[in-house]
Amino acid sequence: MEPLASEIRVLDKGFVRLVEVMGSDASIVQAARVSYGSGTKTVREDAALIDYLMRHRHTSPFEMVEFKFHVKAPIFVVRQWFRHRTASVNEISGRYSVLKEEFYEPQAWRKQARRNKQGSEGELSDEEASLLLKGVEREAYQAYQTLLEKGIAREMARMVLPLNLYTEFYWKQDLHNLFHFLALRLDPHAQWEIRQYAKAIAEIVKAHVPLAWQSFEEHVLKGAHLSHTEIKALQGLLTPELYEKALKELGLSGSRLQEALEKIFPRSHPL
């Protein structure tokens, strides 16, 4: 695999930059096989163990890997980002620094979604909206500068700045909680802008922990949890024999095949 660029550009002026990584796929395996240490198993066996941990939700071994990023993003994106409260974060301070005149300007506007009150859908070309946004940016930053020139404290002058102003922060997160962040922020229902940052982070994570990423993609990102009602519906459409045949055709065998069978056709039902 070719070395990954240390910085990935996002949106019109933002970026995600990998600062450092602590650990790898081997760290996950070592934590799970705490009595063995590293280098005692094959890559295939390591991949199988990581996959077992992922599908059975054994999370602590994944917490042994940590990523630290330097991110530049609009404030409204960061407000969503910081709802993930398990990370260590340090953001540029508008109390100590004069904030730069850098604003996010979308290439296209989106319409309000008809069914999702907090979402959007489709693109909408609106030159008037773009001009209005630029006017607000210009007036707000001029007001900010005027307040500073009058001797108003930076911590108060910043109140006039809009949410599309760019900010920067350092973000350190363990792999388990980073996967949770990506599961939510790569989802099509997440706001488009934060999805672009999630895609950049996913590219970096995939390059550094490919085995863990493969299992995350299989069981979480492209997988789904079924309710009791959904399982009953599938039981009405399938037979164990047909389901087993389909699973074998997709390459499942051994204990992995048995686990998949028991998801839909358990040997015994809990009380």
For CA atoms 71, 77, 78, 83, the dihedral sign is negative
Closest CA to 194 of 181, 203, 205: 181
Q: Consult the annotation and say whether 92 binds a ligand.
A: yes
Which member of 17, 79, 138, 185 is catalytic?
A: 185
DSSP code per residue over 48-114: HHHHHHHHTT--GGGGG-EEEEEEEEEHHHHHHHTT-TTSEEEE--TTTSPPP--B---SSEEEEPS
Is 83 annotated as belonging to a binding site?
Answer: yes
How many CB atoms are located within 10 Å of the residue 4 CB?
A: 13
Give dist(CA 23, CA 63) in Å, integer.
10
Say whether 267 counts as a known binding-site residue: no
Mark 205-238 as b/e (b = at least 16 C-beta within 10 Å): bbbbbebbbbbbbebbeeeeeeeeeeeeeeeeee
Is 204 annotated among the ligand-binding residues? no
φ and ψ at residue 131, rounded to 5 degrees:
-65, -40
Residue 228 annotated as binding site: no
Question: How many Å apart are CA 268 and CA 271, to the nearest integer?
Answer: 9
95 assigned ligand-binding residue: yes
CA 148 to each of CA 14, 137, 152, 163: distance values in angstroms, whole numbers, following the listed order: 26, 17, 5, 19
80 annotated as a binding-site residue: yes
Please indicate if the annotation marks 175 as binding a ligand: yes
Answer yes or no: is 82 a known binding residue.
Answer: yes
69 is in an annotated binding site: no
Q: Is 189 annotated as a binding residue?
A: no
The distance between the two most distant Cα atoms of the chain, rounded to a whole number of Å, is 79
How far apart CA 219 and CA 202 sit, in angstroms, is 16
Asked if residue 185 belongs to a known ligand binding site, the reply is yes
User: What does the DSSP 8-state code read for residue 171?
Assistant: E
Does 158 count as an annotated binding residue?
A: yes
223 annotated binding-site participant = no
185 catalytically annotated: yes
Binding residue positions for FAD: 60, 83-85, 91, 174-176, 180
Catalytic residues: 185
Annotated binding site: 60, 80-85, 91-95, 158, 174-176, 180, 185
Known binding-site positions for dUMP: 80-83, 91-95, 158, 185
